[in-house]
Each structure stands twice: as structure tokens, then as C-alpha cells.
Amino acid sequence: DASGDAIYIIDPRTFAYVDVNEAAARLHGVSREALRALGVRGAFPDRFDDAGLRARYDELIAQHPRALTEERQIPRADGRLVWAESIRRAVQVDGEWLVISVMRDITERKASQAKLELMHQAINAAPDAIVVIDPVTLAYVDVNEATAQMYGTTREQLLARGARQGLQGDAS
């Protein structure tokens, strides 16, 4: 319970939560008891059917001790979806397989990535030359297509060159 990450212990035969921590309950927006009662099928009602879950857990057990990492959306009790990074691993305890799943809320990171991608698209769509330079290394962080066209080269060549070599001699 001291972990900030959501931790789930899953019985791969029954899809029941053997246990979950408080962070898992917060991620789903329910109490620990309610989340344990839901089990995997109840916590992800539209995501998996029994055959799909069984195949996922069988694959995880077959790949033991390797972990599987993925990003997925978690449905909360209030209807919102939150993004989480999930790391799952099969472990054997007293001859029985269990699946340990650790999830971290990455909703803010995904929102920041989407905002950054939107900004990148806007810069590339701009008709004016835009160059972003790292002030410490003088490396080009990014240049838009208008800059490459203005200097008759490619974005990749400009990025490789950097601000130290500059743009001199490229323009006609």
C-alpha cells in the first residue's frame, strides 16, 4: 500500500483479483473491496472476453519470467478514461501461477505528448521558416519544412548540421 503505483495480483484461472492496493482502487475510482469484487472482467468490461483474457495470461505464463509492458486506457467508475502504463509478469507461488500487474497513471504525460504533437504539426504547417535551437549546444532541435525549402535542403540535413555550421551558403 505504500506504493504510488497501482498493484494488482490476479488469478489467471478465474480472472479474480487476489488483492489490489489503494493506488489501484484510486485509479479506478472505487474502494479496494469494490475493485476486488469486480475482478478483471468487471474492471475492464468492454476490453476482454474470457478467451481473450485466457490467451493473454497463457502467453504471459509461457514467457515467464519476462514482463509485458503496454499503455492502455483504464475505465473509472465515473465514466472517465485514464491512461496507464501497465507492466505485467507471471509468477509462481506455491505451485500456482499468479499475474502481477503494476500500473502507473500516465494521463498527464499523454496529454502533454498530444499537446506537443499538435504544436509540432502547427510549426510544420507554418508558411514561415521556423528554427528551434538548443541554446547550450547550438544544435537544431527542430526546423520546419518551410526552412528546408527556403535553403533547398531537407529537414534531416539541417538538423544534422546544427547552428554551429549555420545556414550560410545554402540560400540562393
Residue among 57, 133, 142 nearest 98 (CA): 57
Q: In the β-sheet with 16-20, what is the strand arrangement from edge to edge?
A: 16-20, 6-11, 96-105, 81-93, 68-75
Cell numbers at 76, concatenated? 473509472
pLDDT in tens, 82-93: 999 999 999 999
- Give the integer Cα–Cα distance in Å for 61 and 14: 15
Residue-wise pLDDT for 91-102, tens only, equals 999 999 999 999
Residue 16 has pLDDT above 60, yes or no: yes
Categorize the per-residue pLDDT at 18 as very low, low, confident or very high, splitting at 50, 70 and 90.
very high
For the question of whether the overall pTM of this predicted structure is more than 0.75, the answer is: no
Of the candidates 118, 120, 172, 124, the one whose C-alpha atom is nearest the C-alpha of residue 147 is 124
